[in-house]
Amino acid sequence: MAVYTQLSAEALAELIAHYDVGELVSAKGIAEGVSNSNWLIETYKEGGSSRFILTMYERRIDLADLPFFLGLLDHLSTSSAPVPRTIHDKEGAAWRNLDGKSVALIEFLPGISVDRPTPAQARNVGAVLAQMHAAAMDFPVRRANDLGADVSASVLAQCGSDALAKINPALPAAIDEAQRVAECWPHGLPRSIIHSDLFPDNVLMLGDEVSGLIDFYFACHDAMAYDLAVTHAAWSFADHGQDYRADIGQALIAGYESVRPLQPEEHAAMPVLAQGAAMRFISSRAQDWIETPADALVLKKDPMDFMRRFEFYRDGGSGIFT
């Protein structure tokens, strides 16, 4: 949540002039995106105003992946899934360079991100996720998942028991658990491009309807059911993972299956996929926690929020996927 780079109005106006979007009339740096700087831009052209998100890629993003990320938005924006399109410049380029960094102009979509979803909202999120999977099936560019179950296991092993125990005494157990999850990871499940980070803050809603899926910077080619498991882990718990909201979890899966019913092998794999989803966030949060200086003015996310989810999934809480 930051704007890492200051851009002058003159530099912004000069950039916007390369696009066929009219004149710049407003630009506000917005506190969104963990690894990019973002501005909410308004332009005026021929009697109407338009809004865009200008993203500057700061770190964590491999620039070689930009054709994948920005092309994916273009591909999905023509489908029934509400995904913002990439605005191309007058020469047709999907991104430009500014101050030595890559920037892209992306369609602005209205909507707000809910903190505590209702079942109706969760159902629609599930349905839109399935629409997105279906629409992405024929996207020709591939990007491997570099945060799979084996990576979670090795990240946690590298953190080490001592460092994990300093965060919370319950965390070192994640090392062996992640190894076990990686060893029994299902392969051969149906794939498409998956979002793989569909937390509530990456979904824009207007009332019960999904008005936008955003922030595809973890998107990759992997099992669709794994994406549903990530979304389940991200949406179905309250109170830092202590409270499983069964109505939300059920609505999410029912919504998904209303568009794309899970195949039997996907259904059977859900418990381990959900454990792997929890491990993916335990491992990255633990790593961030350990690598972030104690006095840094950033919000550290507690890996325990997902360790509780992991334990819930491992222990088959209420047979949630049966």
Residues contributing to the site for a copy of itself (CB under 8 A): 1-3, 8-13, 24-32, 40, 42, 110-116, 204-206, 293, 295-298
State the nearest-atom distance from the C-beta of 205 to a copy of itself, in Å: 8
Which of 204, 202, 216, 195 has its CA nearest to residue 121? 204
Task: Determine the length of the chain.
Answer: 322
Of 64 and 296, the one with the shorter C-beta distance to a copy of itself is 296
Of 37 and 283, the one with the shorter C-beta distance to a copy of itself is 37
Contact (CB, 8 A) for 297 and 284: no
Of 169 and 293, the one with the shorter C-beta distance to a copy of itself is 293
State the nearest-atom distance from the C-beta of 239 to a copy of itself, in Å: 14
In the block, residue with structure tokens 């922030």:
215
- 59-68 contacts: CB < 8 A, separation 24 or more? 59/35, 60/34, 60/35, 60/217, 61/35, 61/36, 61/217, 63/102, 65/143, 66/94, 66/95, 66/102, 66/104, 67/94, 67/141, 68/141, 68/142, 68/143, 68/219
Of 39 and 310, the one with the shorter C-beta distance to a copy of itself is 39
Contact (CB, 8 A) for 21 and 52: yes
Distance of CA 179 to the CA centre of its chain: 24
State the nearest-atom distance from the C-beta of 41 to a copy of itself, in Å: 10
Of 36 and 275, the one with the shorter C-beta distance to a copy of itself is 36
State the nearest-atom distance from the C-beta of 179 to a copy of itself, in Å: 35
State the nearest-atom distance from the C-beta of 247 to a copy of itself, in Å: 17
Of 178 and 205, the one with the shorter C-beta distance to a copy of itself is 205
Contact (CB, 8 A) for 7 and 40: no
State the nearest-atom distance from the C-beta of 97 to a copy of itself, in Å: 20
State the nearest-atom distance from the C-beta of 5 to a copy of itself, in Å: 11
Of 33 and 148, the one with the shorter C-beta distance to a copy of itself is 33
Q: Which residues contact 175 (CB under 8 A, 6 or more apart)?
A: 153, 156, 157, 159, 161, 164
Collapsed DSSP state (helix, strand, coil) of residue 192: strand
Rounded to 10 deg, the angle between the 119-136 and 66-77 helix axes is 110
State the nearest-atom distance from the C-beta of 42 to a copy of itself, in Å: 7
CA dist., res. 303 & res. 299, Å (int)? 12
Q: Which residues contact 307 (CB under 8 A, 6 or more apart)?
A: 168, 170, 171, 174, 241, 278, 282
Q: How far apart are the first and last CA of the chain?
A: 38
Return phi, psi of residue 194, to 5°.
Answer: -115, 155
Structure tokens at 102: 């890559």
Of 29 and 186, the one with the shorter C-beta distance to a copy of itself is 29
Of 29 and 71, the one with the shorter C-beta distance to a copy of itself is 29
State the nearest-atom distance from the C-beta of 3 to a copy of itself, in Å: 4
